[in-house]
Amino acid sequence: MAIETPENTAKPPVPLLIPALLIMASAVSILSTDLYTPSLPHLQSVFQTNAGRVQLTITLNLIAYAGAQLFYGPLSDRVGRRPVLLAGMVGFAVASVGCAAAGSIDTLILARVAQGLTACAEAVVAYAIIRELYDQAGAVRILATYGMAVALAPAVGPVIGGYMHIWFGWRSNFMLLTGLIILVALLIWRYLPETLEQPDRSALRPRRLLGGYLTLLRDGPFMTYILIMSLVLGGLFAMLAAFPFLFIERLAVPTEQYGYYYAAIVVAFFLGSLSVNRMAGRLGNDQLLAIGLGLCVLGGVSITALFAAGLETPLGITATQCFFGLGLGLVFATAPVRAFDVARAGHGHAAAMLGALPMAGGGLGTLFIALSDDSSVWPIAILLAATNLLAAALYLAVRPWRVAARAGS
């Protein structure tokens, strides 16, 4: 496999405060998915509903999160990164209050959709700012650090959420989110400067809006990286929807202890991101990505083998998915950078697609779990094996590593 030789124009130093604020904003938005997951099995009795309907609070949240990014990316090109980020965070706070006040499963689903529509602004803006402020090597390192720090949110989220559920009830998790997002929004408002040098006044024109996305959809190398991210994220979020029921209901893990098992998988993701941070510059991005895909495949195949052998224990399941988490850390530190480098449209459009399609993949993964839930372990096992194998096969079939970075990336 050839190592790409991108144009790596030196860029001025960036204050550490900027990526720190982006990490804080993204971490809180990610907590909105993970924090309340230990409550999922219990929401069946709270709202007198079934597991599939409860899982829709994740599925529809992710689909809304994905779709809204297609608008936020070009909007941030038009009006700037800072106002889009701040508006999204304010909306996120309001939606979180709505989740806490929900009196029915339908109300909770609607409030979760509103959370998705607003929380995604952080992802679009973060990717755009990082890729614009850093050269390729710097962007890989920052994204790896970003991945490690943001990984702490889903690692500690279910642990905190489990205890919050036991001590204060499921609504307390959404009130905690409200407080955190308000605090971070105030810090963003006070310290984050506008980083877009020249607003694009035509960014929201329908022809320009659709034209940019159509260009990217026809861009084979770019779409390969995006689809790889979508497939592996589909497996991750399917796990997020299925594992609370598998661990708490089927394997009798106490609610407050479930988060520790999931945290181990996220720590593996953290280590994967850390390894990229250490190896960036010594190995090419596509080489690191290939290693990550191999580890993801190992995780998907090994959990299927574990279930086939009848060895479905909490520790065994967690151990197999640590391979997946490790590989995921490599994939998400390298694939976004390469996607930006080969994209044939502006950074706003590319950032929106980078956020939207992988999150849509996550939503489809959870939808598969909700629709195929038969109280067995096989839906999640089949999905994890299939998505990771397909991602690796796609990468080998298209071979996007042959495409060098485009000028101006």
Are residues 123 and 336 in contact, defined by beta-carbon separation less than 8 angstroms? no
Q: Which amino acid is at 333?
A: A
Q: Distance between CA 251 and CA 255 in Å, rounded?
A: 11
pLDDT, mean of residues 17-46: 86
Q: Are 355 and 127 in contact (CB under 8 A)?
A: yes
- pLDDT interval class at 374 (50, 70, 90): low
What single string gives the DSSP state of each residue in 58-106?
Answer: HHHHHHHHHHHHHHHHHHHHHH-HHHHHHHHHHHHHHHHHHHHT--SHH
Reported as a single tens digit per residue, the pLDDT across 202-232 is: 767 787 777 878 888 888 888 999 999 999 9
The domain spans of the chain are 17-194+203-402
* Residue-level pLDDT at 148: 65
Instruction: Give the per-residue pLDDT at 9.
Output: 54
The CA distances from residue 312 to 243, 315, 330, 380, in Å, are 12, 8, 27, 12
Which pLDDT band, with edges at 50, 70 and 90, does 406 fall under? low
The reported pLDDT for the residue numbered 43 is 94
Question: What are the phi and psi torsion angles at 260 (to 5°)?
Answer: -70, -40
Closest alpha carbon to 96 in 172, 5, 151, 203? 172
pLDDT in tens, 121-133: 887 787 777 777 7
pLDDT in tens, 263-311: 899 889 888 878 876 776 677 778 889 999 999 999 999 999 999 998 8
Least confident of 9-18, 103-112, 169-178, 231-240: 9-18
Decide if pLDDT at 51 tops 70. Answer: yes
Residue 409: count other Cβ atoms within 10 Å of its Cβ: 21
Buried b (16+ CB within 10 A) or exposed e, 121-130: bbbbbbbbbb
pLDDT band at 7 (very low <50, low <70, confident <90, very high): very low
The pLDDT value recorded for residue 2 is: 39
Higher pLDDT, 350 or 245: 245
Rounded to the nearest 10 degrees, the angle between the axes of helix 255-279 and helix 285-308 is 150
| 3-state SS, residue 280 | strand
The CB-side HSE value for 239 (13 A sphere, CA atoms) comes to 29
Ranges 5-9, 18-22, 54-58, 268-272, most confident: 54-58
pLDDT at 401 over 70: yes
What is the third-level CATH fold of 17-194+203-402? Answer: Growth Hormone; Chain: A; (1.20.1250)
